[in-house]
Chains A and B, each alone.
Chain A
Amino acid sequence: SQQGEEDPQALSIQEGENATMNCSYKTSINNLQWYRQNSGRGLVHLILIRSNEREKHSGRLRVTLDTSKKSSSLLITASRAADTASYFCATAMIGSYQAGTALIFGKGTTLSVSS
């Protein structure tokens, strides 16, 4: 079963614009992670935010987490054609034993950045 649900399912923007994608989940979590998957390739870890954090930055990425609403957002600023990919949020269940294990992925947001 999948816990995370990304929104929108697909997003098309121009180079230089910002891209925002959202993730909602159902149960309490230890951490939430975002991954990127280019066409036909494996997933690449982008950023991890813990349940006691509200915002985190990494380069052009900004992630927010609202545990009261059980939601997260990923913002990519000044997008480039190379950002074209599918983006997945993945939640890790609460509890130290499960925290690094039971990653549950959403269905993903497909981002297309045109030049």
Chain B
Amino acid sequence: EAGVVQSPRYKIIEKKQPVAFWCNPISGHNTLYWYRQNLGQGPELLIRYENEEAVDDSQLPKDRFSAERLKGVDSTLKIQPAELGDSAVYLCASSLDSRRSYEQYFGPGTRLTVT
């Protein structure tokens, strides 16, 4: 079974530039999560999707961050414009059904460096 796929693995951009991350969850997983992990910290949830609906985006900085999961499968997270403080690892995770299956499966992440 293929795991959660993320691309790119690494991204270096200058501040004020836009950037996008892509995630393909495990087949059949209805719930998709985007987390941000700063150096030396644990992941922090940015947004959670149940199928194509964003049901928890309270931690997403909406002035510059946006996300979509149009067909309820893969998802894109965008930052525009990027700031120095956005440098972090962006992790995507999925789970079968967040109300009954609590285990989350994580992708390898995208390491973003903003210069």
Give the residues in chain A near B41, CB-CB below 8 Å: 2, 107-108
Is B14 in the interface zone, CB < 8 Å from A?
A: no
Flag if A45 contacts B105 (CB, 8 Å): yes
User: Which of A42, A96, A104 is B107 in contact with, Cβ under 8 Å?
Assistant: A42
Q: What residues on A are CB-neighbors of B103 within 8 Å?
A: 33, 45, 48
Q: Does A100 contact B108, Cβ atoms closer than 8 Å?
A: no
Prevailing SS type, chain B contact patch: loop
Q: Is the CB of B56 within 8 A of A101?
A: yes
On chain B, the number of residues with a Cβ less than 8 Å from chain A's Cβ atoms is 27
Contacts of A64-98 to chain B: CB distance below 8 A? 88, 90, 92, 96-97
Q: A residues touching B (Cβ–Cβ < 8 Å)?
A: 2, 4, 30-31, 33, 35, 41-45, 48, 88, 90, 92, 96-97, 99-108
